[in-house]
A and B are shown apart, each in its own frame.
Chain A
């Protein structure tokens, strides 16, 4: 049995509003929110490196879990925006935490990096002890590269989220987690070293829609659940229209889908844990609650998790 001991998050103070982007790209007022549901996104200050964002989310997570860095058995960071090729953000985070001599590594799958980090953590923690899974991104640094494209610049923001899982008893059990990859359309979402984000939006949306529906319905079916049995769905905060479309297809009432992308935009690997952390803060993960998490990202890769609060 593996349990989530806590979530945590950090978002920078700086904001990029829709008004700022609408003026820059000559867009009609209201166009961005109608296309994405996003109203503003956060932007890290120059000194807030990805490592710093990850560290702040990790400290929040450990504090909520009642753990010290010395309690950790491993660190996994999902990120698509590391500041260097190697070593990873996990190395910077490990140094800042002072949690030496435990495995620490990155997973580079962009938006699904947090979920893959969680999946790996769930499998590794019986052997290594509590594992800290973090999603951290400085997407605005990538978006600032020329040529800027409105299709991506309007979507992404900075932030970090974290989750710590441990074997044994706890109050939020990870009942099941499944991750998958299919490289057929890998080039539709990729970024070269130092380059801009290449995103073929239509292909990504079609694939994300179909894969998320399939993995979610498969997970529910496996556990003899329907959407009605689930109290809260926490998805990667990609685009409100995508969340609504997936929700409609699976007959998920809108009020059961946690949404914070209006305030943070798409924070890629960080979004799932930021959303989970805020959902927990908001009291949405109540005793007895069944919670489903799902994400989609580069690879293309996707997955879903089933959690149960005691």
Chain B
């Protein structure tokens, strides 16, 4: 499955507002997800994509949009 699709499916149950179609829209500014939802999302994606995000890379800006998230995980999926 496409990484973006996996992200959207993982995001869906956590979203507090409609998930934007535009993958470059901030999920924080649109209140789609808060800090706690973001942590849940990252943990879920770590499991689904087999990528462990090291603490040093665990910063919100890397995961602010679906596009950034996809780029991050795609670069690390073996």
A interface, CB within 8 angstroms of B: 182, 184-185, 200-203, 205-207, 209-211, 241-242, 245, 249
Q: Give the dominant DSSP class at B's interface.
A: helix
B residues near A (Cβ < 8 Å) are 28, 35-36, 38-40, 42-43, 55-56, 58-60
CA distance A185 to B56 in the complex (A): 8
Bound state CA distance, A185 and B59, in angstroms? Answer: 9
- Contact for A203 among B42, B43, B59, CB less than 8 A: B59
Residue of B nearest to A211 (CB): B55
CB contact under 8 A between A202 and B43, given known A207-B55, A207-B58: no
With a CB–CB cut-off of 8 A, which chain A residues contact B42?
Answer: 206
Closest Cβ–Cβ distance, residue B55 to chain A (whole Å) = 6
The listed residue (A182, A201, A211, A249) touching B35 by CB distance below 8 A is: A201
Interface of A is mostly: helix
Kindly list chain A residues whose C-beta atoms are within 8 Å of the C-beta of B60.
200, 202-203, 206
State A203–B60 Cα separation when bound (angstroms): 6
A202 touches which of B35, B40, B56 (Cβ 8 Å)? B35
Q: A202-B35, A207-B55, A245-B36 are in contact. List 9 more A-B contacts (CB 8 A).
A: A184-B55, A184-B56, A202-B28, A205-B35, A206-B39, A206-B58, A209-B39, A210-B58, A241-B36
Give Cα A200 to B55, complex, Å.
Answer: 16
Least distance between B30 CB and chain A CB atoms (Å): 14
Q: What separation, in Å, do the CA atoms of A211 and B36 have in the docked complex?
A: 14
CB B63 to nearest CB in A, in angstroms, measures 9
Contacts of B39 in A (CB 8 A): 205-206, 209-210, 245
Nearest residue in A to B28 (C-beta to C-beta)?
A202
Q: Are the C-beta atoms of A205 and B59 separated by less than 8 Å?
A: no
Could you give 11 example pairs across A and B, Cβ below 8 Å? A182-B55, A202-B28, A205-B38, A205-B39, A206-B38, A206-B39, A206-B59, A207-B55, A207-B58, A209-B39, A241-B36
By a CB distance below 8 angstroms, the chain A residues around B55 are 182, 184, 207, 210-211
A181 to chain B, nearest CB (A): 13
Inter-subunit contact B43/A249 (CB<8 Å): yes
Report B-chain residues with C-beta under 8 Å of the C-beta of A210: 39, 55, 58
- Whether A242 contacts B59 in the complex (CB less than 8 A), given A202-B28, A249-B43, comes out as no
Least distance between B60 CB and chain A CB atoms (Å) = 4
Smallest Cβ-Cβ distance to A200: which chain B residue = B60
